[in-house]
């Protein structure tokens, strides 16, 4: 098969690595990719916002499957443009990607199909949003409706912070994404990321993980795209997965089909495991980043076969298997992330670090400049390892990080802390 992968992050490096291991693969292209992905794919500079250009490339190269990594092209309808031209795609349609593209859409779906989530209101002006917040009281959560690169959410412990967040949204802090605001009840519990592979009809569980969203140790500081993750998540044992399938995923699949937007691709449920069970925080319509990296380390099945089955509506014919080992990844970011990451600093020692037992390093925001590997974004490297426990995987990752010579980078030192406390208690 000839495959075109869209994206340039650590998620796409992990996908490229697994796709390239498939015996079904003849040729992998990636647009735009990164220096790590270049080990597995031919990089092509396509403007993915130009759907005609992507279609033309796919036709010219007789691509058998396009795999779309990030959310922006999904919400922008790239899948539909490709399908209209007879090109097979892994990823949801624009209609189905509303699950990520509009938080209000998802909350309405939850209300209509009885999917457990926090009580909410949707507002297109500040006075009404503020009146609702005053009526509900703090803690409360304020979200920009649209895509805001993970930055459009304020978990307000005080009323004042919630009111300020409403003003920020309507004053344009998130551009068009903040033209509508969703206010929702604060959910208390432990978070988990849950993935399902879907084909419009069938949804099959595709792994659990726990992310670390805050930039600082001990879960402090501003939210980021994710500073590290591990899989599986101990907070999601088999019975919790079963409940989540029944109470959240199945009604979502039914509801989306009923609304005329059957969901295919990867459905990523951000869950809060509360004392009453799983509640939906949000849906994403793509693999998590960095969650994908740990899932791919554990996946034993042929990824390309699974992605093709999803695209063809044949998931009832496959059953993915994962290793029982734990995988853990630590994000190395450029100093200044998430506010203002510094670009251009030189990174050395990766080859040596990658020799650490059971370690794999995925590239995210890297570039090659004058023969050197340099930082070219906020989240730059994902140092990843497998082990028989979270503690063991964590030790290997930090051992590898010690060998990376990058004074301008930083990482959290406590990725996996919740699971490690659990392991120590056992
Ligand atoms: P989101 O972008 O919706 O995943 O929100 C970012 C982060 O904000 C989540 O990972 C949670 O940590 C937190 N969050 C979002 N919604 C809620 C909620 N209703 N209750 C508590 N925390 C939340
Ligand atoms: N790591 C969280 C996300 O990909 O949205």
DSSP lists the bridge partners of residue 382 as 331, 362
d(CA 5, CA 353): 27
Shortest-distance Cα residue to atom 2 of ligand 2 = 288
Q: Quote the ligand 2 centre to 2 CA distance (angstroms).
A: 28
Which residues are near ligand 1 (CB < 6 Å)?
118, 141, 150, 153, 155, 184, 186-187, 191, 213, 223, 270, 281-282
For residue 147, what pLDDT is reported? Answer: 84
Which residues are near ligand 2 (CB < 6 Å)?
150, 211, 225-226, 284, 288-289, 291
Q: Quote the ligand 2 centre to 160 CA distance (angstroms).
A: 28
C-beta of residue 360 within 8 angstroms of C-beta of residue 21: no
Among 226, 229, 295, 338, say which to mutate for ligand 2: greatest number of ligand atoms within 8 Å of CB: 226
For residue 174, what pLDDT is reported? Answer: 78
- Does domain 326-425 fall under CATH 3.90.600.10? My reply is yes
For residue 150, what pLDDT is reported? Answer: 66
d(CA 108, CA 195): 21
- Does domain 125-179 fall under CATH 3.40.50.10320? My reply is no
User: Among 2.30.30.60, 2.40.30.10, 3.40.50.20, 3.30.470.20, what is the CATH number of 189-317?
Assistant: 3.30.470.20
Domain extents in the chain? 2-91, 125-179, 189-317, 326-425
Q: Which ligand is nearest to the CA of 284?
A: 2
Counting from 1 in the atom list of ligand 2, the atom nearest the Cα of 288 is 4
Residue position matching structure tokens 């050197």: 372
For residue 61, what pLDDT is reported? Answer: 98
Is 121 in a helix, a strand, or coil? strand
Assigned CATH topology for domain 2-91: Rossmann fold (3.40.50)
Counting from 1 in the atom list of ligand 1, the atom nearest the Cα of 187 is 20
For residue 398, what pLDDT is reported? Answer: 98
Shortest-distance Cα residue to atom 5 of ligand 2 = 288
Among 106, 139, 141, 191, say which to mutate for ligand 1: greatest number of ligand atoms within 8 Å of CB: 141
Taking only the tens of pLDDT, the chain with its 426 residues reads: 999 999 999 999 999 999 999 999 999 999 999 999 999 999 999 999 999 999 999 999 999 999 999 999 999 999 999 999 999 999 999 999 999 999 999 999 999 999 999 999 989 988 999 999 999 989 999 988 888 776 788 899 999 999 999 998 888 777 777 778 889 999 999 999 999 999 999 999 999 999 999 999 999 998 899 999 999 999 999 999 999 999 999 999 999 999 999 999 999 999 999 999 999 999 999 999 999 999 999 999 999 999 999 999 999 999 999 999 999 999 999 999 999 999 999 999 999 999 999 999 999 999 999 999 999 999 999 999 999 999 999 999 999 999 999 999 999 999 999 999 988 988
d(CA 201, CA 360): 35
d(CA 180, CA 123): 6
């Amino acid at each position: 098969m000839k495959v075109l992968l869209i994206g340039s992050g650590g998620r796409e490096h992990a996908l490229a690595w697994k796709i390239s291991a498939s015996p079904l693969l003849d040729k992998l292209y990636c647009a735009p990719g990164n220096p790590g992905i270049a080990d597995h794919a031919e990089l092509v500079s396509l403007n993915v916002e130009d759907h005609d250009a992507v279609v033309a490339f796919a036709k010219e190269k007789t691509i058998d499957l396009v795999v779309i990594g990030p959310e922006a092209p999904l919400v922008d309808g790239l899948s539909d443009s490709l399908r209209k031209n007879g090109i097979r795609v892994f990823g949801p349609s624009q209609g189905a990607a509303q699950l990520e593209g509009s938080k209000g859409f998802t909350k309405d779906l939850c209300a209509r199909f009885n999917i457990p989530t926090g009580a909410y209101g949707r507002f297109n002006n500040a006075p009404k949003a503020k009146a609702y917040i005053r009526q509900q009281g703090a803690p409360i959560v304020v979200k920009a409706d649209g895509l805001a690169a993970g930055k459009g959410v304020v978990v307000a412990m005080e009323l004042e912070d919630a009111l300020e967040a409403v003003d920020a949204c309507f004053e344009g802090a998130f551009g068009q994404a903040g033209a509508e605001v969703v206010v929702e009840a604060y959910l208390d519990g432990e978070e988990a990321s849950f993935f399902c592979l879907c084909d419009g009809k069938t949804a099959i569980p595709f792994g659990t993980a726990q992310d670390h969203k805050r930039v600082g140790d001990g879960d402090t500081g501003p939210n980021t795209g994710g500073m590290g993750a591990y899989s599986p998540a101990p907070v999601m044992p088999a019975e919790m997965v079963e409940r989540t399938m029944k109470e959240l995923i199945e009604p979502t699949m039914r509801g989306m089909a009923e609304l005329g937007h059957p969901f295919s691709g990867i459905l990523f449920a951000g869950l809060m495991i509360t004392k009453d069970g799983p509640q939906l925080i949000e849906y994403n319509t793509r693999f998590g980043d960095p969650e994908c990296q740990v899932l791919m380390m554990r996946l034993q099945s042929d990824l390309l076969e699974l992605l093709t089955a999803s695209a063809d509506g044949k998931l009832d014919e496959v059953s993915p298997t994962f290793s029982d080992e734990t995988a853990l990844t630590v994000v190395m970011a450029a100093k200044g992330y998430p506010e203002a990451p510094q670009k251009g600093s030189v990174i050395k020692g990766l080859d040596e670090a990658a020799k650490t037992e059971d370690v794999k390093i995925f590239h995210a925001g890297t570039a090659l400049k004058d023969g050197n590997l340099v930082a070219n974004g906020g989240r730059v490297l994902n140092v990843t390892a497998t082990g028989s426990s979270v503690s063991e995987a964590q030790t290997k990752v930090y051992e590898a990080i010690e060998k990376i010579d990058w004074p301008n980078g930083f990482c959290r030192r406590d990725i996996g802390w919740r699971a490690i406390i659990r392991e120590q208690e056992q």
